Amino acid sequence: MRDFAGRTAFVTGAASGIGLALARVFAAEGMNVMLADIEAGALDAAVAQLAEFAPRIGSVVCDVADLESVSHAAAATVEAYGPVHILCNNAGVAGGSGIDAIAPETWRWVVDVNLMGVVHGIAAFLPGMRAHGQAGHMVNTASMAGLQANIGFSPYVATKYAVVGMSEGLAKDLAGEGIGVSVICPGFVRTQIAASARNRPERYGVGAKPAPGGKAALLAQQLAGNAEAGLDPDAGARQVLEAIRTNALYVFTHPEMRDEVDARFAAIDAAFKRTAG
């Protein structure tokens, strides 16, 4: 997909971070952009920011863990701008866990947002994207944690592995239909994911703080440092835009993390060689 002007994009988790950056680059290309987020106040502020240079900006409060909410957002987008050409399943939360504090409620929350949120986006938008017969593209936000589990046992890792796998399968299933698929696997980015609990719905209960000194606590500390030390979200968004143009499946924003993935691949290769031997 190379022609963006006048087309329509829908972005979840768009009130901040990578989502807002994606909305910004799409708007700069002359697209209609519908921003979706569960946080109404931040969503209003994001729209006001983008509206300064892009008049075709809309917003809808959306809980990606709820299929009905996503379906409503899809209908609102089509009503406002017509067919959707780019879908960004970007909303995500961090959660905690670790082997010493396995909280099923936290697992359900993270799985519902990070994994089922992508499923709900595909279910709500794919039929329309196929029906309008124009070029389209889906972007799913995963993580380097979807390719290696250096942060340990956690719902975040589990869901991001799933998003990578779903994206790979989706790309194969849609090959030849004019709908591309990309999965972005960033390392640390300057986002507010460390403060995900601010939007945790009551139905998932109150999340327990990770045990001091554990991997989950270390991850929380690293995420909290994103506000200063992580990658500029705009840099990642520009890579996504190029991936859409070239129909690239994988988007890696942190090339310095390749060694971590290579170590996993080497272990897998060694296991196959042992079996073959």
Give pLDDT tens digits for 206-244: 766 656 666 555 665 665 555 566 889 999 999 999 999
- Which runs of consecutive H residues, i.e. helices, occur in 29-154? 40-51, 67-81, 104-110, 116-132
Which pLDDT score, from 0 to 100, does residue 101 have?
78
Domain ranges of the chain: 8-276
For 171-202, the pLDDT digits (tens) are 999 999 999 999 999 998 888 777 777 878 78
What is the model's pLDDT at position 220? 59
**DSSP bridge partners of 89:** 140
Give the β-pairing of 179-185 and 250-252: parallel
Q: Answer for the pair 120, 98: CB distance below 8 angstroms, yes or no.
A: no
Span of 15-19, 113-117, 225-229, 268-272 with lowest mean pLDDT: 225-229
Catalytic residues: 156
For range 72-92, the mean pLDDT: 98
Res 230: pLDDT: 80
Residue at token pair 């992580």: 230
9-65 confidence digits (pLDDT tens): 999 999 999 999 999 999 999 999 999 999 999 999 999 999 888 889 999 999 999
**122-140, pLDDT tens digit by residue?**
999 999 999 999 999 999 9
pLDDT of 213 reads 62
* Residues 109-115, mean pLDDT to the nearest whole number: 97
| Distance in angstroms (rounded) separating the CA atoms of residues 53 and 10 | 18
- Identity of the amino acid at 11: V
| pLDDT for 214 | 60
pLDDT (0 to 100) of residue 211: 61
Percent of the residues in the chain that have a pLDDT greater than 70, as a whole number: 92
Sheet harboring 86-89: ordered strands across? 57-61, 32-37, 8-12, 86-89, 136-141, 179-185, 250-252
Amino acid at 152: G
In the CATH hierarchy, which top-level class contains the domain 8-276?
alpha beta
Whole-number Å distance between alpha carbons of 212 and 233 = 29
Q: What is the pLDDT of residue 161?
A: 98
Q: Which amino acid is at 177?
A: E
Q: Can you give the pLDDT at residue 112?
A: 97
